[in-house]
Amino acid sequence: MPHPHAVAGMVSRLNDPHYARWASQVRATGGCRQPIHLRGKVQHIDRATGELLHSYSTRTEPDGVLRVPCKTRRASRCPACAEVYRADTYQLIRAGLAGGKGVPETVTAHPCLFVTLTAPSFGIVHTRREKNGKLLPCHARRDAATCPHGRVMSCAARHGSEETCLGEPLCPDCYDYAGSVLFNALASELWRRFTLALRRRLAKAAGLTVRELREQVTVSFAKVAEYQRRGVVHFHAVIRLDGPDGPSSPPPAWATADALADAVRHAASAVAVTVPAAEGEPARVLRWGAQLDVRPITMGGELTDQAVAGYIAKYATKAAECVGTLDRRISPLDDLDALPLRAHARRLIAECFRLGALDGLADLRLTQWAHMLGFRGHFSTKSRRYSTTFGQIREERAEHMRAEAVSTGRLPLFEEDTVLVIAEWEYAGQGYSLGDALLAAALTGVPLADSGGPR
């Protein structure tokens, strides 16, 4: 049963003479849960005569504002906009594997791998293990040691996929929380060093210098970060070899999938990042975990371009919330015990605050990124030559929507170079009131947020 306040809001919106226009604005946001309100005007003026050809102002709109989609990539914040982002990511990744969006189809013949780089272990955690479709015990040890905190380091349970203990340490007091958040903080740097080492190894194997390599081969990649349940990021990446001009040029004959796989394996094991010692904390050397997955991507083979594009696109809309942290910044002044956090996430966040207060580690900005468990990198990145860009994909869509608006008479069609467009916009808020949120959900078929509600 909705709150009486919400019901009153719904009634007054429904009785508003502008209701029909409000409803069409809401539909135009595509079900955005937290649309941005813009106030302003757009004028089309004839450059030659100064005549006002067309003008639009939000003054006549419901509440004097235009509602536009928030365009977040985070599914936890807005499922509808995140879905648009996911679809764009899919197109972008797919184009780099199968061609399209300006990438020639010949790219399918270039060596291409799907690589997963993981974090090392920071302590034994509960895991769901399967072998040949059979569920195995989590961490069964007959002569299991007892840790200094009196906990037996064994778990014979066969965990279900939704069990909340998954990813949690067998002994939280033994777990290396510092190592975990430092790894997250330096994962992007480790990736950068990995890509450099990869090029060096490729060059060396071909008897070239790195500079000479660049004249023959472009290494293109697209990667996405994914949080494992234990709260550390790992990376999934598409790595492809092109000729010197990117996807339109073939790589030299020596640059095979095997040569690339060798370079990936070598680079993953070779690179490290050193965390300097700081007030009572020892220096640490961080590396990738021993688990490294390298698989060729082939059209119609075991691992297809669609599967890879779908996989990367899916993770592009997720953040750390699945680990049980919060989807917003947390301050050291917040009472962590009062926030709805999982115990493991709470300890990781507390560790970010503890290490973030040390002068020697200030560069890692662990306090600001505590809600991300230390990771402050981009979730999905790609090299310049990988395929098309988000900008191009969005522009295509905007162009399509504009053409539609013109053909249905909502927008005038003017010659671009003869018309001066003057636009003034200001931010006037975001989201829905309780009553509006209920109506918007009914209009767009997008369910409301589980908690919190409108802001």
**Binding residues for Zn ion (CB under 5 A):** 32, 69-70, 78, 81, 126, 138, 147, 149, 155, 157, 171, 173-174
Element (H, E) at 315: helix 305-316
CA distances from 223 to 41, 180, 219 (A): 40, 21, 13
Question: Up-side HSE of residue 414: CA atoms within 13 Å toward CB?
Answer: 18
- Kindly tell me which of 142 and 149 has the beta carbon lying closer to Zn ion: 149
Residue 312 CB, shortest distance to Zn ion, in Å, is 21
Q: By C-beta, is 177 or 386 nearer to Zn ion?
A: 177
The Cα–Cα gap between 331 and 349 comes to: 10
121 CB-near residues (< 8 Å, 6+ apart): 289
Closest CB to Zn ion among residues 124, 241: 124
Shortest approach of Zn ion to residue 323 CB, angstroms?
17
Q: How far is the CB of 439 from Zn ion (least distance, A)?
A: 16
Euclidean distance between the first and the last CA atom of the chain, given in angstroms as a whole number: 20
Q: CA separation (Å) from 78 to 17, 106, 378?
A: 29, 37, 19
> Token pair of 358, please?
């040390």
Would you state the structure tokens that stand for residue 261, as one six-digit string?
């796989």
Distances (CA, A) of 250 to 25, 195, 243: 48, 20, 5
CB closer to Zn ion, 136 vs 174: 174
CB of 321 to Zn ion, least distance (A): 16
Least distance in Å: CB of 169 to Zn ion? 8
Q: Is the CA virtual torsion 42, 44, 50, 51 positive or negative?
A: negative
By beta-carbon proximity to Zn ion, the closer residue of 168 and 305 is 168
Rounded least distance, CB 217 to Zn ion, Å: 40
Considering beta carbons, is residue 70 or 326 the nearer one to Zn ion?
70
Tokens for 315? 């993770």
